[in-house]
Amino acid sequence: MTQTLILGQVLDIHSDPFGSTPDAASRFDAHGGVLVEDGRILATGPADELRSRAPRATVEDHGQGLILPGFVDAHVHYPQTAIIASWGKRLIDWLNTYTFPEEMRFGDPAYADEIAERYLDLLIANGTTTACSFCTIHPASVEAFFIAAERRGMAVAAGKTCMDRNAPDGLRDDARSAYDDSAALLARWHGRGRARYVITPRFTPTSTPAQLEALGALWAENPDCLMQTHLSEQLDEIAWVKELHPEARDYLDTYEAHGLLREGALFGHAIHLEDRERDRLRDAGAALIHCPTSNAFIGSGLFGMARAKAEGQIVGLATDTGGGSSFSMLRTMAAAYEIGQLTGTPLHPAELIWLATAGSAASMRAPDRIGTLAPGSDADLVVLDLASTPAIAQRAGRAETIWDAVFPTIMMGDDRATAATYVAGRKLFSPHRG
Site of interaction with ligand GUN (CB under 6 A): 77, 91, 95, 99, 202-203, 230, 233, 294, 298, 320, 323
Quote the Cα angle for 34-332-12, to 5°: 20
Minimum CB separation of residue 422 from Zn ion in Å reads 28
294, interface contact from Zn ion, ligand GUN, none, CB < 5-8 Å by kind: ligand GUN
423, interface contact from ligand GUN, Zn ion, none, CB < 5-8 Å by kind: none
202, interface contact from Zn ion, ligand GUN, none, CB < 5-8 Å by kind: ligand GUN
Got the DSSP string for 230-276? EES-SHHHHHHHHHH-TTSSSHHHHHHTTT--STTEEEEE--S--HH
Say how far apart CA 108 and CA 138 lie, in whole Å.
9
Q: Closer to ligand GUN by CB, 48 or 93: give it.
A: 93
Minimum CB separation of residue 77 from Zn ion in Å reads 5
Nearest-10 Cα torsion for 22, 359, 153, 427? -20
Minimum CB separation of residue 323 from Zn ion in Å reads 6
Q: Closer to ligand GUN by CB, 22 or 322: give it.
A: 322
Q: Closer to Zn ion by CB, 127 or 268: give it.
A: 268
Say how far apart CA 198 and CA 160 lie, in whole Å.
8
Q: How far is CA 265 from CA 139, 296, 354, in A?
A: 21, 24, 20
Interface with Zn ion in residues 366-405 (CB under 5 A): none
CA proximity to 277, closest of 204, 344, 210, 360: 204
Got the DSSP string for 340-352? HHHTT-PPPHHHH
* Binding residues for Zn ion, total number by CB under 5 A: 2
CA proximity to 327, closest of 293, 360, 362: 293
Minimum CB separation of residue 319 from Zn ion in Å reads 10
203, interface contact from ligand GUN, Zn ion, none, CB < 5-8 Å by kind: ligand GUN
Say how far apart CA 289 and CA 310 lie, in whole Å.
15
Interface with Zn ion in residues 241-300 (CB under 5 A): 268
Interface with Zn ion in residues 112-131 (CB under 5 A): none
Minimum CB separation of residue 94 from ligand GUN in Å reads 8
Q: How far is CA 303 from CA 156, 275, 321, in A?
A: 25, 14, 17
Q: Closer to ligand GUN by CB, 233 or 385: give it.
A: 233
Report how far Cα 105 is from the mean position of its chain's Cα atoms: 24
Phi first, then psi: what are they for 424, rounded to 5°? 50, 45
Minimum CB separation of residue 137 from ligand GUN in Å reads 12
Q: Is residue 316 within the footprint of Zn ion (CB under 5 A)? A: no
Q: Is residue 324 within the footprint of Zn ion (CB under 5 A)? A: no
271, interface contact from Zn ion, ligand GUN, none, CB < 5-8 Å by kind: none
Interface with Zn ion in residues 51-70 (CB under 5 A): none
Say how far apart CA 22 and CA 13 lie, in whole Å.
8
Which residues of this chain interact with Zn ion, rule CB under 5 A? 268, 320
